[in-house]
């Protein structure tokens, strides 16, 4: 059986200032220092602070970006390319976050273009998927997640999958304080893993990390990470407080040992 190293991401969204981002980076880097052997950690600051945050993180905690555009350069006002992210030290990028899907209006096709562009440029990706409350109540949870997974990974080859993490983030749990129960989350994670086995093979399915996201907090991380198919988390609100975030990373590190 493959042992997957847990992966915890801190998605800072449109929060922090230059000064608070730098301080948060220092505190997270310091707090996670001893845990990095047992858990991978990345933070995802707003674009303008990537460079500063990268300099304050040092070499252990990875620098991530919240989004990218799939073209390499040109007349795309307001957009940021994979090459630009790599230039400032980014190693991993979110694609298809629910706020990109549901607030900004990105669809599966664009998200797949972004996934392929990021991977093609050498970035790792976290592909985010998840159902809305209406879809869950209509019994469409499995269908929606499988659909977003398959569409997001269209034309992504098996040999690129070591650089892909999936984040299952039920939309109704993001920023709401409502968390999926460990059992509910595990059930969807198991479906995601078996879909990866069908789409690729058993080895890809066993080695791909699947994070849970949606109101993960210092006091519920341990029970979520204890589930067999939950390999860490993507953390929003609680990643803005270094102490809470480090407690969550500690829970992930303990789940792996």
Query: Taking CB under 6 A as the rule, does residue 234 contact ligand PGA?
Result: yes
* Contacts of residue 235, Cβ cutoff 8 Å, sequence gap at least 6: 8, 9, 10, 11, 213, 216, 245, 248
Given the rule CB under 6 A, which of 25-33, 58-66, 100-108, 228-236 is the region that contacts ligand PGA? Answer: 228-236
In whole angstroms, give the CA distance from residue 36 to residue 28: 11
In whole angstroms, give the CA distance from residue 224 to residue 62: 23
User: What does the per-residue mask of binding to ligand PGA show for 177-206, with x meaning CB under 6 A?
Assistant: ------------------------------
CB of 62 to ligand PGA, least distance (A): 16
In the complex with ligand PGA, the residue whose CB is nearer, 57 or 238, is 238
Query: Taking CB under 6 A as the rule, does residue 224 contact ligand PGA?
Result: no
Give the 3-state secondary structure of residue 51.
helix
* Binds ligand PGA (CB under 6 A): choice among 54, 64, 96, 214: 214
* Binds ligand PGA (CB under 6 A): choice among 7, 8, 11, 68: 11
In whole angstroms, give the CA distance from residue 218 to residue 220: 6
* Contacts of residue 150, Cβ cutoff 8 Å, sequence gap at least 6: 195, 199
User: What does the per-residue mask of binding to ligand PGA show for 92-131, with x meaning CB under 6 A?
Assistant: ----------------------------------------
Of 164, 169, 163, the closest CA to residue 188 belongs to 169
Query: Taking CB under 6 A as the rule, does residue 215 contact ligand PGA?
Result: yes
Catalytic site residue from 106, 131, 169, 227? 169
* Contacts of residue 125, Cβ cutoff 8 Å, sequence gap at least 6: 92, 93, 94, 95, 115, 118, 119, 163, 164, 165
Q: SS3 sequence, 76-118?
A: CCCCCEHHHHHHCCCCEEEECCHHHHHHHCCCHHHHHHHHHHH
* Binds ligand PGA (CB under 6 A): choice among 29, 53, 174, 192: 174
Query: Taking CB under 6 A as the rule, does residue 237 contact ligand PGA?
Result: yes
Query: Taking CB under 6 A as the rule, does residue 10 contact ligand PGA?
Result: no
Specify whether 106 is catalytic: no
Residue with nearest beta carbon to ligand PGA? 236
Query: Taking CB under 6 A as the rule, does residue 166 contact ligand PGA?
Result: no
Catalytic site residue from 97, 131, 189, 227? 97
Specify whether 99 is catalytic: no
Query: Do residues 214 and 180 touch, judged by C-beta distance below 8 A?
Result: yes
Q: Which residues are catalytic?
A: 97, 169
Q: Residues interacting with ligand PGA, by CB under 6 A?
A: 11, 169, 174-175, 213-216, 234-238
């Amino acid at each position: 059986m493959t042992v997957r190293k847990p992966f915890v991401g801190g998605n800072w969204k449109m929060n922090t200032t230059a000064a608070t981002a730098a301080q948060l980076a220092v505190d997270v880097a310091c707090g996670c220092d001893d845990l990095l052997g047992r858990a991978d950690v990345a933070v995802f600051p707003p674009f303008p602070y990537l460079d500063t945050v990268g300099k304050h993180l040092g070499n252990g905690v990875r620098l991530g970006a919240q989004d990218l555009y799939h073209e390499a350069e040109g007349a795309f006002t307001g957009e940021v390319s994979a090459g630009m992210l790599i230039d400032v030290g980014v190693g991993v990028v979110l694609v298809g976050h629910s706020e990109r899907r549901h607030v900004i209006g990105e669809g599966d096709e664009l998200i797949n273009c972004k996934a392929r562009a990021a991977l093609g440029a050498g970035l790792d990706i976290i592909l985010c998927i998840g159902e809305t409350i209406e879809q869950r109540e209509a019994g469409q949870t499995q269908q929606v997640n499988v659909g977003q997974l398959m569409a997001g990974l269209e034309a992504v080859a098996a040999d690129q999958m070591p650089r892909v993490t999936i984040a299952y983030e039920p939309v109704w749990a993001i920023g709401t304080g409502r968390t999926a129960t460990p059992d509910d989350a595990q059930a969807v994670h198991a479906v995601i893993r078996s879909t990866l086995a069908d789409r690729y093979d058993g080895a890809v399915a066993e080695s791909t990390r699947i994070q849970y996201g949606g109101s993960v907090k210092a006091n519920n991380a341990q029970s979520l990470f204890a589930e067999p198919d939950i390999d860490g988390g993507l953390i929003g609100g609680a990643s803005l407080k270094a102490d809470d975030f480090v407690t969550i990373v500690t829970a992930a590190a303990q789940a792996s040992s």
